[in-house]
A and B are shown apart, each in its own frame.
Chain A
Amino acid sequence: MATDKKAYWKTNLRYLSLLLSIWFLVSFLCGIVFAESLNAFYIAGFPLGFWFAQQGSIYVFVIIIFIYVYLMNKLDKKFDVDEV
Chain B
Amino acid sequence: MSTQLWTYAIVGATFLLYIIIAIVSRASSTKEFYVAGGGVHPILNGMATAADWMSAASFLSMAGLIAFMGFSGAQYLMGWTGGYVLLALLLAPYLRKFGKFTVPDFIGERYYSKNARLVALICALFVSFTYVVGQMKGVGVAFARFLDVPFETGVFIGIGIVFFYAVLGGMKGITYTQVAQFCVLIFAFTVPAIFISLQMTGNPVPQLGLGSKTSEGVYIIEKLNQLSVDLGFDTYTSINSDNLTNMFFITAALMFGTAGLPHVIVRFFTVPKVKDARVSAGWALLFIAILYTTAPAVAVFARTNIINTLSNATYADVPQWFKNWENTGLLSFEDKNQDGVIQYVAAPERNELTIDRDIIVLANPEIADLPPWVIGLVVAGGLAAALSTAAGLLLVISTSISHDLLKNYLRPNISEKGELKAARISIAVAVLAAGLAGLNPPGFVAQVVALAFGLAASSFFPAIILGIFDKRTNREGAISGMVVGIVFTIAYILYFTPQLGGAGTKEGFWFGISPEGIGTLGMIFNFITALVVSRFTPPTPEPVVAMIESIRTPRGATTPVEQH
> Do these two chains interact?
yes
Known contacts A27-B251, A69-B279, A35 near B71 by CB under 8 Å: yes
User: Nearest CB to that of B97 among chain A residues?
Assistant: A83
Hey, which chain A residues are within 8 Å of B296, CB to CB?
54-55
Instruction: Indicate if the CB atoms of B282 and A55 lie closer than 8 Å.
Output: no
CA distance A21 to B317 in the complex (A): 54
Of the residues B90, B222, B248, contact of A45 by C-beta under 8 Å? B222
Hey, which chain B residues are within 8 Å of A76, CB to CB?
275, 553-555
Hey, which chain B residues are within 8 Å of A79, CB to CB?
553
Q: How many residues on A have C-beta within 8 angstroms of the other chain's C-beta atoms?
A: 45
CA distance A19 to B282 in the complex (A): 14
- Give the contacts of A43-84 with B (CB-CB under 8 A): 43-47, 49-51, 53-55, 57-59, 61-62, 64-66, 68-69, 72-73, 76, 79, 81-84
- Judged by DSSP, the binding face of A is helix
Surface stretch bound by A, among B143-151, B209-217, B438-446: B209-217
Of the residues A46, A65, A82, contact of B85 by C-beta under 8 Å? A65
Known contacts A55-B207, A58-B289, A61-B84, A20 near B89 by CB under 8 Å: yes
CA distance A35 to B71 in the complex (A): 10
CB distance from A48 to the nearest CB of B (A): 10
Surface stretch bound by A, among B132-140, B237-245, B368-376: B237-245
- Judged by DSSP, the binding face of B is helix
CB distance from B87 to the nearest CB of A (A): 9
Instruction: Indicate if the CB atoms of A44 and B549 lie closer than 8 Å.
Output: no
Instruction: Indicate if the CB atoms of B78 and A27 lie closer than 8 Å.
Output: yes
Instruction: Indicate if the CB atoms of A61 and B285 lie closer than 8 Å.
Output: yes
CB distance from A27 to the nearest CB of B (A): 5
Instruction: Indicate if the CB atoms of B293 and A58 lie closer than 8 Å.
Output: yes
CA distance A23 to B285 in the complex (A): 14
Beta-carbon contacts of B240-270 to A below 8 Å, as 1s and 0s? Answer: 0100100110011001000000000000000
Hey, which chain B residues are within 8 Å of A9, CB to CB?
552
Instruction: Indicate if the CB atoms of B212 and A31 lie closer than 8 Å.
Output: no
User: Nearest CB to that of B223 among chain A residues?
Assistant: A45
Hey, which chain A residues are within 8 Å of B219, CB to CB?
44-45
Hey, which chain B residues are within 8 Å of A14, CB to CB?
none
Instruction: Indicate if the CB atoms of B89 and A19 lie closer than 8 Å.
Output: yes
Instruction: Indicate if the CB atoms of B239 and A65 lie closer than 8 Å.
Output: no
Beta-carbon contacts of B523-555 to A below 8 Å, as 1s and 0s? Answer: 000000000000000000000000001001111
Instruction: Indicate if the CB atoms of B211 and A68 lie closer than 8 Å.
Output: no
Hey, which chain A residues are within 8 Å of B557, CB to CB?
83
CA distance A46 to B285 in the complex (A): 23
CA distance A39 to B73 in the complex (A): 16
Known contacts A28-B251, A33-B244, A23 near B289 by CB under 8 Å: no
User: Nearest CB to that of B273 among chain A residues?
Assistant: A83
User: Nearest CB to that of B74 among chain A residues?
Assistant: A53
CA distance A20 to B252 in the complex (A): 13
Instruction: Indicate if the CB atoms of A68 and B554 lie closer than 8 Å.
Output: no
Beta-carbon contacts of B274-287 to A below 8 Å, as 1s and 0s? Answer: 11001101100110
Hey, which chain A residues are within 8 Å of B85, CB to CB?
19-20, 23, 61, 64-65
CB distance from A4 to the nearest CB of B (A): 10
User: Nearest CB to that of B292 among chain A residues?
Assistant: A58
Beta-carbon contacts of A5-35 to B below 8 Å, as 1s and 0s? Answer: 1001100100010011001000110011101
CA distance A68 to B81 in the complex (A): 16
Quick check: is B220 within 8 A (CB to CB) of the other chain? yes
CB distance from A20 to the nearest CB of B (A): 7
Beta-carbon contacts of B325-347 to A below 8 Å, as 1s and 0s? Answer: 00000000000000000000000
Hey, which chain A residues are within 8 Å of B555, CB to CB?
76, 81-84
Instruction: Indicate if the CB atoms of A46 and B77 lie closer than 8 Å.
Output: no
CA distance A22 to B74 in the complex (A): 18
Known contacts A27-B82, A28-B251, A62-B289, A5 near B244 by CB under 8 Å: no
User: Nearest CB to that of A43 among chain B residues?
Assistant: B211
Hey, which chain B residues are within 8 Å of A72, CB to CB?
93, 275, 278
CA distance A5 to B82 in the complex (A): 29
CA distance A58 to B386 in the complex (A): 23
Known contacts A39-B239, A61-B285, A54 near B244 by CB under 8 Å: no
Hey, which chain B residues are within 8 Å of A68, CB to CB?
88-89, 278
Hey, which chain B residues are within 8 Å of A19, CB to CB?
85, 89
Of the residues B73, B89, B212, B239, contact of A49 by C-beta under 8 Å? B239
Known contacts A45-B221, A82-B555, A32 near B282 by CB under 8 Å: no
- Determine which residue in B77, B281, B556 has the highest number of CB atoms from chain A within 10 A of its CB, and name it: B77
User: Nearest CB to that of A72 among chain B residues?
Assistant: B278
CA distance A81 to B82 in the complex (A): 28
14 residue pairs bridging A and B, Cβ less than 8 Å apart = A9-B552, A33-B248, A44-B212, A45-B210, A45-B211, A45-B220, A49-B71, A50-B74, A57-B82, A58-B289, A58-B293, A59-B289, A69-B275, A83-B556
Q: Which 3 A-B pairs have the closest CB atoms?
A: A45-B219, A53-B74, A65-B282
* Residues of A participating in the B interface, judged by any CB pair closer than 8 Å: 5, 8-9, 12, 16, 19-20, 23, 27-28, 31-33, 35-36, 39, 43-47, 49-51, 53-55, 57-59, 61-62, 64-66, 68-69, 72-73, 76, 79, 81-84
16 further A-B contacts with Cβ under 8 Å, apart from A49-B239, A53-B71, A81-B553, are A16-B89, A19-B85, A45-B213, A45-B220, A45-B221, A50-B71, A57-B77, A57-B78, A57-B82, A61-B82, A61-B285, A62-B282, A65-B88, A65-B278, A68-B88, A73-B275
